[in-house]
Amino acid sequence: MKTSGLDIEMEKFKALMDKAPEIASRALYKGAGVMADEYKRAAAGMPTEKNRYVGPNDPPRHATNAEKNAVVRGIGIARFRKNVDSVDTSVGINSSGYAANIKTKKYPNGKPIPLIANGINSGSSFMVKYPFARKAEASGKAKAVAAMDAEGQKLIDEVTSNG
């Protein structure tokens, strides 16, 4: 009995297993890029107004252009964390630095961008809530999954057709 067809399929399977971490990383990178673009698009669409003092009886204000621009610039993709059986990352604003052009007494070197983003996203006593993160996640999740699926399938096809 001859099993040459099975040997070829086993070689393809072995090549696919060897390339699996790379395929997962590249597919995840595509999906993370789609989500980062959605976050930026959602943040860029927020309403703005000039900075004004909000007293106890005043209505809350929208974000300023400087705050909006700092949030948009601060959105990015975290470094990939590779484990034995998984690869993961996050898209967002954590550890994205300081807005050097927005200085206060408490933050003389610039206000932390995550603090600005959380204030806008959740609202506060002086700022109108604009949940850009929720909007980005709702509009981008299906697109990101589709992009990851397409990239992963393309890479799998490359490996299995060259086997």
Report yes or no: 38 and 136 within 8 Å, Cβ to Cβ.
yes
Report yes or no: 63 and 127 within 8 Å, Cβ to Cβ.
yes
Tokens linked to 163 = 């086997």
Average pLDDT, the chain: 91
Please report which confidence band the pLDDT of residue 3 belongs to, taking 50, 70 and 90 as the band edges: low
> CA–CA separation, 89 vs 123, rounded Å?
27
pTM: 0.84
Report yes or no: 32 and 144 within 8 Å, Cβ to Cβ.
yes
CB-hemisphere CA count at 13 Å for 125?
5
> pLDDT tens across 81-124, in order?
988 788 899 998 877 789 999 999 999 999 999 999 999 999 99
> CA–CA separation, 69 vs 76, rounded Å?
14
Q: At what angle do helices 4-44 and 65-74 cross, to 10 degrees?
A: 170
User: Which sequence spans correspond to the domains of the chain?
Assistant: 4-162
pLDDT beyond 70 at 2 = no
pLDDT beyond 60 at 19 = yes
Place of tokens 């980062």: 36
